[in-house]
Structure 1
Amino acid sequence: MSLLNGRVAIVSGAGSGLGRAASLSFAKEGAEVVLLGRRLNKLEETFEAIKEATGREALVIPTDVTDEQQIKQAVILAVDKWGKIDILLNNAAVLESGHVIELTSENWHTQVATNLTGPFFLSRAVIPYMRKERYGRIINITSGLSWNGAGGYGAYSAAKAGLESLTRTLADEEHEYGILINLYNPGTLRTEMHATGKDPAVVTPDLLRLASLPRGGPTGSTVSYG
């Protein structure tokens, strides 16, 4: 039996990199997948990959995770189609290097809005539906920069540190509803944000395990690749 049969999963940043790999992996394990991202052409490529691999169609919803209204509408569309949301993978991210003294206000707000506020908007939007089912699995993608920082990555590091704190807070608030919320640090991946690293597909087994945790499983924890 497939791990995610009957589950509905939302993946942000689904048009490329880890988001695409995770979406395909979830679909192969039986999930109905909702693809969120800003670039329609990239989402359509993920859609075609899923259709070719599984024979089933994903739901494509062009969405900017920094826009609260777009998030609300995307979740409503997903629930209208499948009646529930079981899994959320907060993967969408932006990384713009620059020392703190060089960062513009726009640079700072863009990175915090995507890497921290976006997961807040999405989590807040899906949790009422998860509470109703008394079941939910939320996975937030983090980075080693969240705790050790690094020169030139102040905004990204601060946003990821905030995401880790938000994750632990939500885990404490939602565990009584059967909602498990965890962090995943994939390490360096070869994506549009980074030219070198692992193929994103190698870490998807970890994401599948977090997406299919049994009731009473770990919550508020950090899992790292390897």
Structure 2
Amino acid sequence: MSGSAAAAAPGHALDGRVVMVTGAHGGLGAAAAHACASAGATVVLLGRKIPKLNRVYDAIVRDPSGLPEPVNYPFDLSGAEYGDYMELAGRIGAQLGRLDGILHCAAEFPGLTPLEHTDPGHFARALHVDLTARWWLTQACLPLLRGSPDAAVVFVLDDDVPAAYRGAYGIAQHGQRALLDTLHAEHASGTVRFQGLRPGPMRTPLRARAHVSDDDRRARDPAVAAEACVVLLSSAGAAHRGLVLDPAP
């Protein structure tokens, strides 16, 4: 099932909450991290590219609105073992005392290639980052999330994926939807809700690998989807439990 975007969440919709954003230095990740901080959240910035991660951190810290200071956590989803994910959850619990939400923005898409000619290592890496790592991180953090009275796990989904040439990235999109539906069915009565966001075409480096930017008139600024991320991570997101949200056009 899918839902249309609700009205924007209030300006302090995430006050007091701790939210983790994966791929926080990417197009949507950076926009969503800043939007969450602007809504009052302490944001855990997760990513493997430290200089880019630092730039997102600096932008939030230097915001004239006086936003909560985020936490940088350099982390390579593709190279980390499951024990590293457990250690990550433990450190967040020890340092911040809580976790109220995870926004899965990190993605791996090397570019358009016929599946027959895809390098096996590239295929395995993309499938892991785009699907398995999202579950490993969620599983490791579930005990911490259960300590929140209103926790949300949001999977960013790309439904604008033709069947051809998207390789493991395209295949993982179907797997993520199945993962979302399974988790919702198994936790429908719990304190942790699972939901998805279908942001639509965005002007990001990932999309540029598959589209010529000059002709990509459908793509929008990631800030549009970032506001929908705040809605889903806030108490207003409970109305979309188990659903995939489409931001307003």
| Stretch deviating more after TM superposition (121-130 or 61-70) | 61-70
TM-score by length of 1: 0.92
Task: Tell whether the 8 Å contact from 1:86 to 1:136 is kept in structure 2 after alignment.
Answer: yes
In the superposition, relative to structure 1, how do residues 114 and 176 fare at CA in structure 2: closer, same or farther (>3 Å)? same
2:232 to 202, 210, 213: 210
2:88 to 53, 57, 74: 74
In the superposition, relative to structure 1, how do residues 55 and 220 fare at CA in structure 2: closer, same or farther (>3 Å)? closer
Q: Which one has the bigger helix percentage? A: 1
Offset of residue 151 of structure 1: 1.3
Q: Deviations over 1:117-173 (max 9, x none)?
A: 111011101111122334310110111146xx3311131111111011001111122
Q: For structure 1, list consecutive stretches of 5 or more residues without a partner in the other structure.
A: none
TM-score by length of 2: 0.84
Q: Deviations over 1:150-209 (max 9, x none)?
A: 311131111111011001111122232221111111111111212342211121111111
CA distance in 2, matches of 1:101, 1:25: 40
Task: Show the 5 A alignment for 1:184-195.
Answer: 184-195=197-208
Secondary structure at 2:206 match in 1: coil
Where in structure 1 do 4 or more consecutive aligned residues deviate above 4 Å?
none
Provide the residue aligned with 1:5 in structure 2. 15
In the superposition, relative to structure 1, how do residues 48 and 215 fare at CA in structure 2: closer, same or farther (>3 Å)? closer
Task: Tell whether the 8 Å contact from 1:14 to 1:46 is kept in structure 2 after alignment.
Answer: yes
Q: Deviations over 1:65-84 (max 9, x none)?
A: 23223322222222112111
| Stretch deviating more after TM superposition (208-217 or 194-203) | 208-217
Provide the residue aligned with 2:243 in structure 1. 221
In the superposition, relative to structure 1, how do residues 52 and 114 fare at CA in structure 2: closer, same or farther (>3 Å)? same
Task: Tell whether the 8 Å contact from 2:151 to 2:191 is kept in structure 1 after alignment.
Answer: yes
CA distance in 2, matches of 1:215, 1:16: 23
Offset of residue 104 of structure 1: 1.9
CA distance in 1, matches of 2:93, 2:196: 25
2:47 to 14, 34, 37: 37
Query: Identity percentage over the alignment?
Result: 27
CA distance in 1, matches of 2:238, 2:204: 34
Secondary structure at 1:169 match in 2: helix
Provide the residue aligned with 2:37 in structure 1. 27
Task: Show the 5 A alignment for 1:68-147.
Answer: 68-96=82-110, 97-145=112-160
1:161 to 174, 188, 192: 174
Highest RCO, 1 vs 2 (Cα 8 Å, sep ≥ 6): 2
| Stretch deviating more after TM superposition (122-131 or 86-95) | 122-131
- Verify: 1:198 aligned to 2:220, yes or no: yes
Secondary structure at 1:133 match in 2: coil
Task: Tell whether the 8 Å contact from 1:94 to 1:114 is kept in structure 2 after alignment.
Answer: yes
Q: For structure 2, list consecutive stretches of 5 or more residues without a partner in the other structure.
A: 1-10, 214-218
